[in-house]
Amino acid sequence: MKFKFNVIITTIATFFIKGGISKYLTDNHYLIYIDNTIPINQNNDLNKRQDVNDFISNTISEIHNLIVDNQNSYQNPKALTELDEKHNKLKKRNNIENTLDESNYVYPISTVGDRTILNAFLSAELVEMVKSYPNVKAVKENGEIEHDVYYNINEIKRNTGWKKVNVRKNAELHLSLLSQGKYNQNLVNKYDPNYYYPSSAGEGINIVIVDTGFNFKHPEFSNKERITKCVVRMVDGKPDHSVPEDNCGTNNPYYIKDENYHGEWVSDIAAGLKYGVAPKANVYGVAAIETGYNMSNLISAVQYVSDHLIKPYKTVVNLSLGSFYPIEGEDEERDHWIRLINSITEKGAIVVAAAHNFG
């Protein structure tokens, strides 16, 4: 089986500032690092423990009230309500009556010496405002920590523009290579086995595969919120629509005999749940290859795709097959293929062909 994805990954610095707000920030929990040492008299004596507690409590009250007064700055204001429903209803704090841990939106998690860390649920706008507080040393997003993982989800989002990122850990080689590109030991000290992809995962995209048979009964295609089906089988250049939609593969030998399960492998690599690049994409199988290359079946199959299966700007047509044609001189077969492929691309689809066949 020869199958190759050509992936172009463009890394763009996407730290956009508008009105002082970093565009990649979102509603989230943030860690606020505070210098809790303030002078209390002319001799600049440092706070006693009670004075530190008062200072932290006052800071918490100020940030809490800032959140209450700026609920509209959140992308999802309901998240505040969900936090609040755990304990107190949304209300402002009174500096005297409230204790350090009473707010559900901002509270201390650690104090060591002259440093205190607060955990606060902030919008992007509020992050910038809190950073301006005189005793605030830093505000950092509360990222998740995982064992033996060395990627940064926020950097991936910034570099790709994806709103949400899925990670398939210890993925198959073809998937991890898509995320990593050509591995260079001089740039990265170890190979990254994970596959990173947008959470949309091809949703709404049609992958049309011209190949041998397909088996969409397989668990790799068990998510039925998408379309996966055998559309047609070509017999002597004519379409046979009686093909079973869920299985026109090797396990249904009346239709296609294929010892290598070629079409089943290709469809899985493209869109299988575990092994696929785009596990939410629709897959339309066109069975056109049996024991050998039948040019009548192949041409009629691609013609059928061009006539019936192109959804403009939402379709990828995969041809994991190959042959040889002269570059120069007249060749009617080659020239017809060029016209046929062009007819598909002119309708707004992308045609992917196998590379490196026959070495």
| 136, 241: one domain | no
| 259, 172: one domain | no
DSSP 221: G
Q: Looking at 108-122, 181-195, 276-290, which range is the least confident one?
A: 181-195
pLDDT at 295: 83
| 85, 169: one domain | no
186 compared with 101, residue with greater pLDDT: 186
230 beta partners: 285
pLDDT tens sequence across 138-188: 998 886 555 455 678 888 888 889 999 999 988 888 898 888 777 777 766
How would you write 159-216 as a 3-class SS string? HHCCCCEEEECCCCHHHHHHHHCCCCCCCCCCCCCCEEEECCCCCCCEEEEEECCCEC
pLDDT tens sequence across 200-251: 999 999 999 999 889 999 999 999 899 999 999 888 788 889 888 988 876 6
Amino acid (1-letter code) at residue 318: N
Q: Looking at 26-35, 108-117, 288-297, which range is the least confident one?
A: 288-297
| 289, 343: one domain | yes
CA 313, CA 315: separation in Å to the nearest integer? Answer: 6
Is the overall model pTM greater than 0.85, yes or no? no
Name the residue range of residue 51's domain.
Answer: 26-141
pLDDT tens sequence across 283-313: 999 998 765 567 888 899 999 999 999 999 9
Domain boundary residue, one of 116, 141, 166: 141
Tell me if 39 is assigned to some domain. Answer: yes
